[in-house]
Amino acid sequence: MDSYAQYEALKAELDRLGVRLVETPLKHYGVWGLYVHATKTVATDPSLTARQRTATLAHEYTHALRGDDGHQSPAVERLVSEEAARLLIDARDYAQAEELYGADEYAIAAELDVALAVVQHYRSWLSRSRV
C-alpha cells in the first residue's frame, strides 16, 4: 500500500474511533504531530511531506489507541514509534527491500514509500525482537 493509501486508511480509522484530525503549525515546538486525549484530537503540521504526514498519523493513531495524552516518556515514545512503523511496513516487503538494498535505509524507505524514520523505527523493533 502506498503512502497516500496508508494515510487515507489511518484517517478512516481515526474517524471510526471518533478522533478528530486537524492541521496546525507544530514544528516550532519540535514535533510533527500530537494527540490530545481529552478532546480526542490529532494535530499534524501542514508542512510535512506526504511520507512524514503518514508516519506522524500512524504514530498519533497509536497514541490514540493506547489512550495516551500528550508527549510520553522517551521509552513509551520509542515503543509507539516502533508500533507505528509496524503498521506501515509489511514484514515481507521489508525483507525484500533489505535483500535488494542491504543496509541502505534511504533506498529501503524509498522502496517502501515511507519516511526514513519509519525504517529506522522498524529496524529498532527488529533488533529488539530478535534478541
**Which of residues 2 and 101 earns the better pLDDT score?**
101
Q: pLDDT tens for residues 105-118?
A: 999 999 999 999 99
The pairing of beta strand 41-44 with beta strand 33-36: antiparallel
| Grid cell of 20 as nine digits | 478528530
What integer best gives the mean pLDDT of the chain? 94
Spatial contact of 18 and 40, defined as CB atoms under 8 Å apart: yes
Q: What is the 3-state secondary structure (H, E, C) of 55-88?
A: HHHHHHHHHHHHCCCCCCCHHHHHHHHHHHHHHH
pTM: 0.93
User: So what's the pLDDT on residue 131?
Assistant: 58
Among candidate residues 129, 112, 128, the one with its CA nearest the CA of residue 58:
112
